[in-house]
Structure 1
Amino acid sequence: MAEGSVSTADVEMAFKKFAIHGDTKATGKEMNGKNFVKMCKDCKVIDGKNVTSTDVDIIFSKVKPKSVRVITFEQFTQAMTELSMKRFKGKSQEEALQLVHGLLQGKEPANVGVTKVAKAAAVDRLTDSSKFTGSHKERFDESGKGKGKAGREDIPDTSGYVTAYKGQGSYENKVKEDA
């Protein structure tokens, strides 16, 4: 292998990572059109001038079988060959393919635009259990940790004593005194 060239294994690893992105049932052997476009965008194969997302969609449709919605790695390689000639005009087919493989090497799906947990003062204030009042403060222990079901529901007292009875637990002592 020439110096600076990218191995097929590196490209196949990137293919697998993008193929399983967003699909819990994916095996990594086939890639759908949405993930193919995402891969082309994330890896900068789509440059906006020579290659657009429309070009990527057309090439995806061209290499996949008519009745199927996914492509295999072999079909992916055909698509990348066509895209490389469009992306790097004026280069030889082999050189253009190596440049595209260089763009794909070691890449994985970016999570740009994914919603992150808010770190606002309002969230901190609303989740601070020490500021709760009334019956809501009973849902947390002294450390601020929730008590679970015991904090949400009134669990009935099945001891047999009436609520607010002052002598609770004294019956045993009274029986012993009488005997």
Structure 2
Amino acid sequence: MLKNNAELRGNCLRPSMPTAALTLDSAAAFEEFSSFGASRHPIGSPGPVPHHAQGIAMDSSKFAKLCRDSGLIDNETFTLIDCDIVFSKCKKVGKRKLEYDDFRRALAEIADIRQCHVSHVVAMVVSAAPEINGTLPHADELIDKLTDTSLYTGMHRARFDPVTGQGRGLAGRETISPTADLSAIVSRHNSATTLGSKASAANRALSPPPHERTAASSSAGPSVFDRLNNVKSFTGTHKHRFNSDGTGRGKAGRD
């Protein structure tokens, strides 16, 4: 593809392809570059592109990519700035994208700038295809050790089938975990419950009887709560503000 583009760039006066064929192929190239990277036309999807471009439009970034990948931008007679100028000149007023008829006018403008016949510009576009410039996946030795089951060692190797690479499940383990038997869990739970009951009984045996705790607390005098709520224990001016039954005396209890 690069060799063909170089030959086209080197000789602009070479006899061109038939006009009808170039028209159909330019429509296919227009659709190919316009839909590059779109979800409806994934990168590298197989199958021919329909030779029509109705309802399809090309934005400025896709147009610049087309000019770069086809070799139209040589940074001498035609630069990226010229590409932007042609795009702005050929798109319809109020539109942000090129339609197919605008695209054909843009190719004619490029031919005038490059001082070349428009058929050769179309031929360069037709001979190109969108190039993928992204990062490609690279598998190194470290990734192989993590993903290739044939390189596993020790107990990890025993857990995978050597032919298919599928996991062997319980059959790939040397010993089955004790928790696989629920009866063992139940027996441990019962043992823990029994130990907890014995501990509670021991704590109750060490605690003093309730009457002993009450007697000890009563010998120390009334609690703070009793002193704050029992009017019989009030003293001074607070004692004169309450009757013997605990009701307040109102203004009569004030000095």
Q: TM-score range by the shorter chain?
A: 0.5 to 0.7
Deviations 1:86-113 (A, max 9, x none): 01x2x5xxxx1011011112432112x3
The alignment's TM-score, normalised by the length of structure 1, stands at 0.68
One-letter amino acid of the counterpart of residue 57, structure 1: D
Report the count of equivalent residues: 150
Shift in Å at residue 157 of structure 1?
A: 4.7
Q: Quote the residue 2:82 is aligned against.
A: 55
Is 1:4 aligned to residue 25 of structure 2?
no
After alignment, is 39-48 or 138-147 more displaced? 138-147
User: Would the alpha carbon gap of residues 62 and 3 (structure 1) be closer, same or farther in structure 2, given more than 3 Å must change?
Assistant: closer
Where do 5+ consecutive residues of structure 1 fail to align? 164-179
Where do 5+ consecutive residues of structure 2 fail to align? 1-14, 42-51, 186-255
Larger radius of gyration: 2
Give distance in 1, aligned partners of 2:88 and 2:168: 53
Deviations 1:50-100 (A, max 9, x none): 11011111111111134322111000011111111101x2x5xxxx10110
Q: Quote the residue 1:76 is aligned against.
A: 103
One-letter amino acid of the counterpart of residue 124, structure 1: D
Q: Quote the residue 2:198 is aligned against.
A: none
One-letter amino acid of the counterpart of residue 53, structure 1: L
Give distance in 2, aligned partners of 1:137 and 1:51: 60
User: Would the alpha carbon gap of residues 69 and 142 (structure 1) be closer, same or farther in structure 2, given more than 3 Å must change?
Assistant: same
Contact 1:81–1:97 (CA under 8 A) maintained in structure 2? yes
Which of 126, 129, 132 is 2:146 aligned to? Answer: 126
Shift in Å at residue 145 of structure 1?
A: 2.8
Which of 45, 48, 61 is 2:72 aligned to? Answer: 45
Give distance in 1, aligned partners of 2:99 and 2:135: 31
One-letter amino acid of the counterpart of residue 64, structure 2: V
Identity across the alignment (%): 25
One-letter amino acid of the counterpart of residue 119, structure 2: Q
User: Would the alpha carbon gap of residues 82 and 3 (structure 1) be closer, same or farther in structure 2, given more than 3 Å must change?
Assistant: closer
One-letter amino acid of the counterpart of residue 142, structure 2: A
Contact 1:42–1:109 (CA under 8 A) maintained in structure 2? yes
SS in 2 for 1:78: helix
What does residue range 127-166 of structure 1 map to in structure 2 within 5 Å?
A: 127-129=147-149, 130-131=151-152, 140-143=160-163, 145-147=165-167, 157=180, 161-162=183-184
One-letter amino acid of the counterpart of residue 126, structure 2: Q
The alignment's TM-score, normalised by the length of structure 2, stands at 0.49
Give distance in 1, aligned partners of 2:126 and 2:36: 17
More helix by share: 2
Q: Quote the residue 1:36 is aligned against.
A: 63
Q: Quote the residue 2:137 is aligned against.
A: 117
